[in-house]
Amino acid sequence: MIVGVQGTPSFKNYNIFLRAMAVALSELKENEKEFYLYTAGPGNISAMASEFVNLSERGMRARGKSIKLFRVSPEWVEENIDSFNHFAFVANPKEQVSRVVNLSRSKNINTNVYNF
């Protein structure tokens, strides 16, 4: 499963980030062995993604699955959006979503915006 995540520079709520990752993980099918998380930043979101992957690695391995993090640019995500199964965007209330959100929705990729 390939999941993309992006957010805003002011977003700081790790619990909401975890909720976004839990929703993505719930879509992981039993026969899928890899969970690849592509973070398009900014730095605060990449740091949360890194922490999530590091903390989840042991539990995933115990279930016979692997989890891996890739840091990419928003442009890279746009160019490769057709490869994604899920895209999550995290923001504070009333913050604007990125172009990637609109693109992933237009491609019928499961897209969730978390802005609490």
Return the domain boundaries, the chain.
Answer: 2-114
* Nearest alpha carbon to residue 71 among 34, 111, 103, 41: 41
Which positions ≥6 away from 99 have C-beta within 8 Å? Answer: 74, 78
Within the chain, strands assigned E span: 2-7, 34-39, 66-71, 86-90, 110-114
pLDDT per position as a tens digit, 59-114: 999 999 999 999 999 999 999 999 999 999 999 999 999 999 999 999 999 999 99
- Selected from 2.60.120.260, 2.60.40.420, 3.40.605.10, 3.40.640.10, the CATH number assigned to the domain covering 2-114 reads 3.40.605.10
Which pTM does this prediction carry?
Answer: 0.95
User: Which residue in this structure is represented by tokens 């709520």?
Assistant: 13
Q: Is 9 helix (H, G, I), strand (E, B) or coil?
A: coil
